[in-house]
Amino acid sequence: MRALQVVVLAVFVALIVLSLVKRRRVPAPPRPMIPDELVKDPVCQTYVVRSRAVTGASASGPPFFCSVECAQRYAAGSRS
Ligand SMILES: [Zn+2]
C-alpha cells in the first residue's frame, strides 16, 4: 500500500501549496492607479496637481492655474 501513501501525501502537499499561494495573492486594485500629473502655473510658476488645478477660461493659453486669482491675473494679462 505504499502507492496509496504517496498519493495521499501528494494530495496533502498540493493542498498546502495551493493554500499558501491563495494566501500570498495580494488583492489587486479595482482600477489602475494613474499618477497625478503636475502642471505649472504660468502666473506664479507653481507646480500644481492637475486634478486640483484651476482650469483657465482661455483656450489659447496654458489652462492650469493654482488658484482662481492666478487664472484671472493670467486672463487680465493676456488681454492687455
Ligand atoms: Zn498661481
Per-residue pLDDT at 34 exceeds 70: no
pLDDT, residue 59, reads: 57
**pLDDT tens digits, one per residue of 20-33:** 887 777 776 676 66
Half-sphere exposure of 11 (CA within 13 A, CB side): 5
Domain ranges of the chain: 38-79
pLDDT band at 79 (very low <50, low <70, confident <90, very high): low
Q: How far is the CA of 75 from the centre of ligand 1 (A)?
A: 12
**How many angstroms from the chain centroid is the CA of residue 13?**
39
Q: How far is the CA of 33 from the centre of ligand 1 (A)?
A: 27
Q: How far is the CA of 79 from the centre of ligand 1 (A)?
A: 18
pLDDT, residue 18, reads: 83
Q: How far is the CA of 34 from the centre of ligand 1 (A)?
A: 24
The CA-based angle 54-59-63, given to 5 degrees, is: 25
Q: How far is the CA of 26 from the centre of ligand 1 (A)?
A: 41
**How many angstroms from the chain centroid is the CA of residue 76?**
35
